[in-house]
């Protein structure tokens, strides 16, 4: 290992220039050393457990026009859908009976009363039908504080809201900024999610047009400073029929975005040892063993898609989406075999909540107790 790299990895706390240097590494041997360091930390702090979150893509109906997204409201080439309660509950039943223990409900961003009510009712039915044995993560965009509270009280206990990038200028380049959609509102939403009591998750896209290594270093520092509980991030993969696709000519090659995404996972694992980090499906879109490689880089969560097959191709956020025609049992069997080969173990029947979240609560309680004494 390079002396300089060894010195950085020996530090208890990274400075920004350390992160930039780690993310800028191009030598395959040195990158592997970084991944090995992250993986050893994961095994020490979180064991070899891999947690499944059954992904339910509830609806591709969206009120927003994000420039990078395949289901943006202005894309007229999308077959819009919303799952029925029956379809959602059947997917949940599959996850429950197969001991996934947790699900993720993901959708386009909407705030209308009908959508809020439907999600609320589904949460209650899911908890009732599974005897409260299924953990629930929501990824349904920016909402009001009242809605966050409503959904939390009805059974959701994790919430993922990707900030996409912490560079406000870059954020403005990939979103149609207005009174409702802006960087400040995104930050406020994350604060409200945390305030409500959710295990709070966020994430960024890696390899965006105009994005610099400096931006990605700031993203990782934001995760640390915000004291996030879980992260879902992955390579930016372009999508046709989007405004951002006009900049495809300046994108890094897919394999470079893939490698940089693995580095981001590894450096974050070293920085935040006990958070949950998802190995994103976008990794698999680039490499057939992408999610498994994410685990070896320090991730500990995988989200098998359990959306009804007939709708998966309609939830097309980016090109090359994998698993659009694979049955749940096929994916489950393949992941079981691959994860076993890694000497990892799927933690069936366990929610796999963020240890970081509960460590924070314990520290807060201890501090309050000491103040009273």
CATH number, domain of 117, equals: 3.20.20.70
How high is the pLDDT of residue 365? 55
pLDDT of residue 201: 98
> Does 241 map to a domain?
yes
Residue 9 located in a structural domain: no
Check if the beta carbon of residue 170 is closer than 8 Å to that of residue 213: no
Given a cut of 90, whether residue 341 has pLDDT beyond it is yes
- Model confidence at 101, in pLDDT bands (50, 70, 90)? very high
Distance CA 209, CA 205 (A): 10
Residues of the chain above pLDDT 70, percent: 97
Statement: the pTM of the whole predicted model exceeds 0.85 = yes
Section 4-21 average pLDDT: 95
Count of domains observed in the chain = 1
User: For the segment 229-276, what is each residue's pLDDT rounded down to a tens digit?
Assistant: 999 999 999 998 899 999 999 999 999 999 999 999 999 999 999 999
Distance (Å, rounded) from C-alpha 330 to C-alpha 208? 32
Q: What mean pLDDT is predicted for residues 138-147?
A: 98
Q: What is the mean pLDDT of residues 185-203?
A: 98
Give a yes or no: residue 372 inside a domain: no
Q: What is the mean pLDDT of residues 148-172?
A: 98
Q: Which pLDDT band holds residue 370 (cuts at 50, 70, 90)?
A: low
Q: What number is the average pLDDT over the span 124-132?
A: 98
Residue-number span of the structural domain to which 193 is assigned: 19-367
Distance CA 124, CA 254 (A): 41
What does the pLDDT read at residue 361? 80
2 — pLDDT class (breaks 50, 70, 90)? confident
Round to whole Å and give the CA distance between 144 and 226.
Answer: 20
90 in a domain, yes or no? yes
pLDDT of residue 366: 63
Q: Identify the pLDDT of residue 363.
A: 74
């Amino acid at each position: 290992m390079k002396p300089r790299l060894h010195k950085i990895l020996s530090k208890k706390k990274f400075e920004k220039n350390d992160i930039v240097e780690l993310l800028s590494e191009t030598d395959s041997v040195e990158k592997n050393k970084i991944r090995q360091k992250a993986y050893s930390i994961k095994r020490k702090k979180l064991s070899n457990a891999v947690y499944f979150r059954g992904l339910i893509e509830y609806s591709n109906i969206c009120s927003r026009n994000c420039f990078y997204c395949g289901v943006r409201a202005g894309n007229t080439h999308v077959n819009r859908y919303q799952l029925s309660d029956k379809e959602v509950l059947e997917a949940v039943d599959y996850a429950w009976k197969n001991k996934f223990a947790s699900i993720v409900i993901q959708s386009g961003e909407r705030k209308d009363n009908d959508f809020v009510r439907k999600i609320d009712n589904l949460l209650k039915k899911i908890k009732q039908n599974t005897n409260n044995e299924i953990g629930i993560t929501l990824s349904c965009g920016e909402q009001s504080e009242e809605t966050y509270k409503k959904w939390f009280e009805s059974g959701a206990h994790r919430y993922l809201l990707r900030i996409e990038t912490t560079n406000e200028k870059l954020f403005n380049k990939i979103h149609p900024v207005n009174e409702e959609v802006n960087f400040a509102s995104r930050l406020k939403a994350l604060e409200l999610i945390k305030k409500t009591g959710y295990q709070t998750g966020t994430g960024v896209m890696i390899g965006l047009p105009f994005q610099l290594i400096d931006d990605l270093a700031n993203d990782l520092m934001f995760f640390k400073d915000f004291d996030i509980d879980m992260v879902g991030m992955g390579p930016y993969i372009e999508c046709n029929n989007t405004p951002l696709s006009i900049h495809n000519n300046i994108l890094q090659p897919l394999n470079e975005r893939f490698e940089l995404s693995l580095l981001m996972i590894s450096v974050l694992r070293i920085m935040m040892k006990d958070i949950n980090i998802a190995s994103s499906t976008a990794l698999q879109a680039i490499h057939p063993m992408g999610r498994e490689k994410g685990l070896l880089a320090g991730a500990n969560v995988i989200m098998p898609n359990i959306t009804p097959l007939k709708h998966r191709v309609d939830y097309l956020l980016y090109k090359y989406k994998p698993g659009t025609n694979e049955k749940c049992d096929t994916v489950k069997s393949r992941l079981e075999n691959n994860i076993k080969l890694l000497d990892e173990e799927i933690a069936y029947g366990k929610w796999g909540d963020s240890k970081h979240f509960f460590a924070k609560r314990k520290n807060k309680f201890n501090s309050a107790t000491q103040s009273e004494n």
